[in-house]
Every structure is written in structure tokens, then in C-alpha cells.
Amino acid sequence: MTPARSRRPGAPTRTERGIPEATVARLPVYLRALTALSDSGIATASSEDLATAAGVNSAKLRKDLSYLGSYGTRGVGYDVEYLRYQIAREIGVTQDWAVVIVGIGNLGHALANYSGFGTRGFRIVALLDADPTLVGERIGDMVVRDFAELEEIVAADRVSIGVITTPAGPAQEVCDRLVSAGVTSILNFAPVVLSVPDGVDIRKVDLSIELQILAYHEQRKSGEAALPEVPELPAMNGVVPDLPSVGGGVGA
């Protein structure tokens, strides 16, 4: 089963010009740092400067950039504008991506009102909701449209990215509709695990999870021994001390 591969162990497996996932996740941070430097009128920056601005270690930054090519000058640093363009190109935000938002409730409204996407390579082409009382509402310079128009809009505007801000219940169904309409990237805010076919990318933003991660560390800080030291013996199976409705929950 072990083919005659003879890579040096420890070398990241990357296909032609493929970039490690961890690096991809940091490129947008570098991009933002470069834009900030550029706005401050700074034309050149060393990896140390950039790393500080981006909140990472400079060795890591240099290694990340080296995956894109050799865009710096030894002894000098990086040309801010040039590097910014190269990163923008690598990420793909030199072109605009069409985005639809589905579910114009609390969160959908906030996203629709947000001006920050347009300046970062994304164009919101439609706000969709299934609730007839919402359809027609104006938000900024857009109008909420009926979710039934999805397929038409995706085809007309070459939409490749969909944002789901519906309650958890209908999220999978909405996701399926997006995918079959031709959307191949999804950003999900609903607290459910969505399943998608191969070839479709999905990312989730989950505020409850973020808070719970903070809570875990918070608990460690305040009194290491303050944990309710409940017996861990499996003997107590089924006998749960007294947990009201705290915990996960798929709730709307």
C-alpha cells in the first residue's frame, strides 16, 4: 500500500503552487496590515514590521510569504504596494466575488448594512428571505427578495458564495438549495453542521462556540481546583447532578 513516494518526511504535501491551509488563513491578515501601512504612507516594511502589525512571529510571516514567491529584497524588506497586490492576487480579491445572503433577520440585517465587504473584494448582489412580510424591505440600497428567486439570481450574477443567516432548522435545506443552484462556497452562521458534496467549501462562524472556548480557559484561570469535582466513575451513568437546560442546543 506504500507507493514509491520518496518525499523527505516533514515536508508539507502541496500540489503545484498550493499553499498550506494555515498560511491561507493568515494571508488576509497580512493584506489588512499592508493596507494599514500603505494608508500611513509607508512604502517599505521589513518582515519584522509586518509581523508586528499582523500580530505574528516574523519567521512565520517570512515562511508564509515564501510560498507565494520571492517578493522581498534582502537587506531592505518588502515593497508595501507590490506585496499587497501579490497577496490580493493570490487570494483572489483583485476581482469581485458575487455574494448572496439568505435569512434577513437580526444578523442578516447587520451584514446587509455593513460597508466593509465592498472594499474587500466582495459584492452583495441579493438579500433573500422566505418571509413574505420581509420581502420588499429596503436595506441601504438593496431590497429584500424572495428566496424563490435564488436560482435565477445565482445564474444571472454568477454567484459563487452564499451566506446563511437563517435559523438552524432550515439551514441544511437552504444550503442544499444554494448548492444545487450552483453556489460552491458557503459561509454558515447557523449553529448546525451542514453537509455538502465534494467540491463545495464551507466555513462556519459560531459565536456560541467562541464564547465556550473562552469560558473553558476562563475556568482554568479562576481557581484551578474550583471545578465541581464530581465522581468520574461510570457507576453514576445516567445520574446527572442537576443540569437544567444548559449546554448545546440547536435553538433558533
Ligand X SMILES: NC(=O)c1ccc[n+]([C@@H]2O[C@H](COP(=O)([O-])OP(=O)(O)OC[C@H]3O[C@@H](n4cnc5c(N)ncnc54)[C@H](O)[C@@H]3O)[C@@H](O)[C@H]2O)c1
| Per CB under 8 A, 247 contacts its own copies | yes
- Judged by the rule CB under 7 A, the positions of this chain that interact with DNA are 1-2, 5, 7, 9-13, 20-23, 46-48, 56-60, 62-63, 65-66, 70-78
Contact between residue 179 and residue 198 where contact means Cβ atoms under 8 Å apart: no
**Does the protein bind its own copies through residue 22 (CB under 8 A)?**
no
The answer to whether residue 42 forms part of the interface with its own copies (CB under 8 A) is no
Which residues lie near ligand X (CB under 6 A)?
102-108, 110-111, 113-114, 116, 129-131, 134, 147, 165-168, 170, 174, 189-191, 207, 252
User: Is beta strand 77-79 parallel, antiparallel or unpaired with respect to 72-73?
Assistant: antiparallel
Binding partner at 40 among its own copies, ligand X, DNA, none, C-beta below 5 to 8 Å by kind: none
CA atoms of 9 and 249, how far apart (whole Å): 43
Q: How far is the CB of 209 from ligand X (least distance, A)?
A: 10
Q: Is 241 in the site for its own copies (CB under 8 A)?
A: yes
Binding residue (CB under 8 A) for its own copies from 109, 147, 171, 179: 109
- Would you count residue 71 as binding its own copies (CB under 8 A)? yes
Binding status of residue 125 toward its own copies by CB under 8 A: no
Cβ proximity to its own copies: between 58 and 97 the closer is: 97
Find cell 462562524 and name the residue: 205
Measured from the CB atom, the residue of 5 and 138 that comes closer to DNA is: 5
Considering the complex, what minimum distance in angstroms separates the CB of residue 190 from its own copies? Answer: 10
In angstroms, what is the minimal distance from the CB of 116 to its own copies? 5
Beta bridge partners of 138: 143
What does DSSP assign to residue 172?
Answer: H
Q: What stretches of 72-198 adopt beta strand conformation (E)?
A: 72-73, 77-79, 97-102, 122-129, 138-139, 142-146, 161-164, 185-188
218 binds its own copies (CB under 8 A): yes
Q: CB under 5 to 8 A by kind: which of ligand X, DNA, its own copies, none does 248 bind?
A: its own copies
Q: How many angstroms separate the CA atoms of 24 and 22, rounded?
A: 6
How far, in Å, CA of 11 to CA of 242, rounded?
50
Cβ proximity to its own copies, 4 vs 244, nearer residue = 244
CB atoms under 10 Å from CB of 126, counted, come to 23
Reading the block at residue 67, the C-alpha cell is: 510560498
Q: How many C-beta neighbours within 10 Å does residue 226 have?
A: 9
